[in-house]
């Protein structure tokens, strides 16, 4: 059997490293935090209306509950031998981490719901994220839907819903999210983590859940 030219091998390794980098930077657990950062860093009346300290609180507790706590849980499971790697490539490995993530998202939703300092739209975004993680857990039992695409799709759906419901100008940010979704989808396919159907279904699920909630809740 003939070996691939060295140039092709180098290119292939470079693509894999790029795909892993994209998958890491746009990890689904980081998407709620990214979503709030985008809302607050864009020139719109929401960013102007919300006080700076409230912005920091929202971003901080969102990052803690949706990323830090699930990440700690994943490291513990890795040390216990319940998962083989942090990528959790098999469906069975994802059940416990997804289940614990549901608990953390529910706790965050409770905090948001019982605070008078947070706008309803912020609570709606967290509700959408919580619904998405529940559906991801259920679907993952039978089918390995892409959590990465659910995450970025959710951010896109939330931004579009906010744009039309609150008349907020964030078209450029929305376009960048769609562009990022393309890179993330490519990365997941390049790593053979999902099939095209699982990638497309993940994006549509996250997008429609957040869009529906932000438009109606």
Grade residue 148 by pLDDT with cuts at 50, 70 and 90: very high
Contact 112, 126 (CB under 8 A): yes
Whole-number pLDDT of residue 47: 72
- pLDDT band of residue 100 (cuts 50, 70, 90) is confident
pLDDT recorded at residue 6: 46
Q: How confident is the model over 136-150, as a mean pLDDT? A: 91
Give mean pLDDT, residues 188-203. Answer: 94
Secondary structure of residue 4 in the 3-state scheme: coil
The pLDDT of residue 169? 79
pLDDT tens-digit series, residues 11-30: 567 888 899 999 999 999 99
- 69, pLDDT greater than 80: yes
Cβ-Cβ contacts under 8 Å for 125 (sequence gap 6 or more): 32, 35, 36, 158, 210, 214
**Predicted pLDDT of residue 82:** 74
Q: Which residue has the tokens 């497309």?
A: 200
pLDDT at 140 over 50: yes
Rounded Cα–Cα distance for residues 17 and 111 (Å):
38
The closest alpha carbon to 205, from 129, 122, 124, 103, belongs to: 129
pLDDT bucket at 7, cuts 50 / 70 / 90: very low
The residue ranges of every structural domain in the chain are 17-216
Average pLDDT score over residue span 61-78: 90
Check pLDDT > 90 for residue 142. Answer: no
The rounded radius of gyration (Å) of the Cα atoms in the chain is 18
The pTM score is: 0.86
Q: Could you tell me if 71 and 97 are in contact, meaning their C-beta atoms sit under 8 angstroms apart?
A: no
DSSP string spanning 137-202? HHHHTTS---HHHHHHHHHHHHHHHHHHHTT---HHHHHHHHHHHHHHHHHHHHTTSS-HHHHHHH
pLDDT at 5 over 80: no
Q: What is the mean pLDDT of residues 135-144?
A: 89
> Where is average pLDDT lowest: 73-87, 151-165, 180-194?
73-87
More confident residue, 141 or 93: 141
Give Dmax (Cα) for the chain: 68
């Amino acid at each position: 059997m003939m070996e691939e030219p060295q140039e092709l091998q180098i290119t292939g390794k470079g693509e894999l490293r790029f795909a892993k980098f994209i998958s890491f930077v746009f990890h689904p657990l980081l998407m709620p935090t990214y979503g709030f950062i985008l809302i607050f860093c864009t020139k719109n009346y929401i960013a102007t209306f919300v006080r700076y300290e409230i912005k920091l609180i929202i971003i901080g507790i969102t990052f803690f509950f949706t990323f830090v706590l699930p990440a700690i849980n994943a490291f513990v499971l890795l040390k216990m031998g319940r998962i083989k790697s942090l990528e959790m490539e098999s469906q069975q490995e994802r059940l416990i981490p997804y289940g614990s993530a549901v608990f953390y998202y529910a706790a965050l939703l409770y905090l948001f719901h019982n605070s008078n300092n947070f706008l309803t739209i912020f609570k709606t975004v967290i509700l959408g994220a919580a619904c998405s993680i529940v559906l991801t857990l259920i679907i993952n039992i039978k089918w390995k839907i892409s959590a990465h695409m659910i995450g970025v799709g959710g951010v896109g759906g939330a931004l579009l819903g906010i744009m039309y419901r609150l008349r907020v100008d964030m078209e450029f940010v929305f376009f960048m999210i769609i562009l990022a979704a393309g890179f993330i989808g490519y990365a997941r396919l390049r790593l053979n983590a999902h099939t095209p159907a699982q990638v497309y279904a993940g994006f549509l699920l996250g997008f429609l859940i957040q869009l529906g909630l932000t438009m109606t809740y």
